[in-house]
């Protein structure tokens, strides 16, 4: 048989039979001398998801009733929280200028190695994210807020955060930890904790780079990490591998 390139980039040199289930997006490959080789298609190509709260007063009306397919720069979401529930690995959330009042932002999907989920301002526009509602957290990597433990590979960059107890919170009552997070070029002001990581699951492989922190009030620490802390329930719990650059 001629070599066949599979959907995952692998090369099948001796494929006796191939069938593709377009509904479930699964390739079944039968290889002589081996068990069946199943490749699950990763899904859509990476997308840019636009959020523009100020467009409600402009020509293009934002709406959180748009879906992943109808969202574009002329049909943006109004909230970052809506976008966070629809992005997939490799996607980028582009936030247009404005003040965003958000609370308890969680992600429905994890990024992947080489295909992180990125949240950033559009062309370095002036984006301010502040807390709204009763929760103390803006970006909440916390299972009690509905975030799945073990998610990772996220990038956050180029915006401002204010008026909250925790701009970013990492904490889970179970393992695995949240992991492989990059936070860069963010200005934190008038808040309690820029980044807080609780005991238990916590976070690992977190990089904080080129962030500006000023004019904050402080009870626990602007950067509050419980490193390798044993909470008397899970030995060796807490956060680890935190880097500031």
Q: Are 59 and 123 in contact (CB under 8 A)?
A: no
Mean pLDDT of 81-94: 95
Q: Give the pLDDT score at 17.
A: 58
CA separation, residue 28 to residues 17, 56, 80 (Å):
8, 47, 38
What pLDDT digit, counting tens, does each position of 121-178 carry?
A: 999 999 999 987 656 789 999 887 888 888 999 999 999 999 988 999 988 777 788 8
* H or E element that contains 84: helix 80-84
Q: Give the pLDDT score at 202.
A: 81
Identify the three-state secondary structure at position 6.
coil
Confidence tier at 56 by pLDDT (50, 70, 90): low
Report the alpha-carbon distance of residue 18 to residue 32 in Å, rounded.
12
- Residue 25, pLDDT > 80, answer no
Share above pLDDT 70 across residues of the chain, in percent, rounded to a whole number: 72
- Residue 38, pLDDT > 60, answer no
Give 63: exposed, middle or buried? Use CB within 10 Å, 0-12, 13-18, 19+.
middle
Report the alpha-carbon distance of residue 159 to residue 94 in Å, rounded.
11
What pLDDT digit, counting tens, does each position of 175-212 carry?
A: 788 899 999 999 999 988 899 887 667 888 999 999 99
Report the alpha-carbon distance of residue 188 to residue 113 in Å, rounded.
27
């Amino acid at each position: 048989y001629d070599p066949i390139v599979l959907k995952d980039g692998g090369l099948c040199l001796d494929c006796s039979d191939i069938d593709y289930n377009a509904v479930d997006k699964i390739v079944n490959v039968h290889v002589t001398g081996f068990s069946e080789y199943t490749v699950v298609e990763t899904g859509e190509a990476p997308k840019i998801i636009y959020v523009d709260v100020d467009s409600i007063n402009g020509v293009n009306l934002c709406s959180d009733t748009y879906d992943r397919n109808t969202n574009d720069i002329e049909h943006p979401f109004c909230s970052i929280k809506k976008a966070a529930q629809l992005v997939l690995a490799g996607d980028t959330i582009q936030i247009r200028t404005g003040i965003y009042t958000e609370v308890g932002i969680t992600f429905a999907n994890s990024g992947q190695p080489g295909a992180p989920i990125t949240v950033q301002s559009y062309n370095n526009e002036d984006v301010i994210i502040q807390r709204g509602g009763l929760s103390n957290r803006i970006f909440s990597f916390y299972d009690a807020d509905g975030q799945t433990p073990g998610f990772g590979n996220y990038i956050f960059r180029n915006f401002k955060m204010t008026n909250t107890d925790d701009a970013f919170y990492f904490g889970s009552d179970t393992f695995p930890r949240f992991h492989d997070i990059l936070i860069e070029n963010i200005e934190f002001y008038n808040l309690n904790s820029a980044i807080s990581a609780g005991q238990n699951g916590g976070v690992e492989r977190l990089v904080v780079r080129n962030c500006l922190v000023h004019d904050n009030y402080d009870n626990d620490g602007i950067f509050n990490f419980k490193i390798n802390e044993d909470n008397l329930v899970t030995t060796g719990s807490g956060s680890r591998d935190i880097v500031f650059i």
